[in-house]
Amino acid sequence: MSTTLLSAWEHTVRTAPAAVALIDSASGNTFSRAHLDAQADAWCDAHGKHLETLTVVLCEPNGPGWWRVFLGLLKAGAVVAPLDPGEPAAAQRAAAAAIRGSW
């Protein structure tokens, strides 16, 4: 049986919604699974329309924002290709073009 990353995440949230999913090393704040999932839902509601047919490159620093957008994109039905935010913009654009991703 094949399981998608999103369905595995949703199962994980249902199993223990209050469990800590992320500790932000910059602020020391902790984020529960349910909190991250709710943030991803809110992002998807606000920005996820018409993304279900797109490959989207994600170039965001590690942290809660990355997870919010990454999960939101998955919930919107997009194919997500994470890029290293430390790479020069030209290299990021070239990677996006190589996979026909939306920049």
The pLDDT tens digits of the residues spanning 30-40 come to 999 999 999 99
In degrees and rounded to multiples of 5, residue 31 shows phi and psi of -130, 125
pLDDT at 103: 62
Residue 102 has pLDDT above 80, yes or no: no
Mean pLDDT score, 4-11: 94
pLDDT at 69: 93
pLDDT at 50: 82
Under the banding of pLDDT at 50, 70 and 90, the label for residue 8 is very high
From residue 102, alpha-carbon distances to 23, 65, 87, 95, 97 in Å are 30, 19, 17, 10, 8
Residue 1 has pLDDT above 60, yes or no: no
What's the whole-model pTM score?
0.84
In one-letter notation, the amino acid at residue 10 is E
pLDDT in tens, 26-79: 899 999 999 999 999 999 999 888 888 788 889 988 889 999 999 999 999 998
pLDDT at 3: 80
CB-side exposure of 63: number of CA atoms within 13 Å? Answer: 11
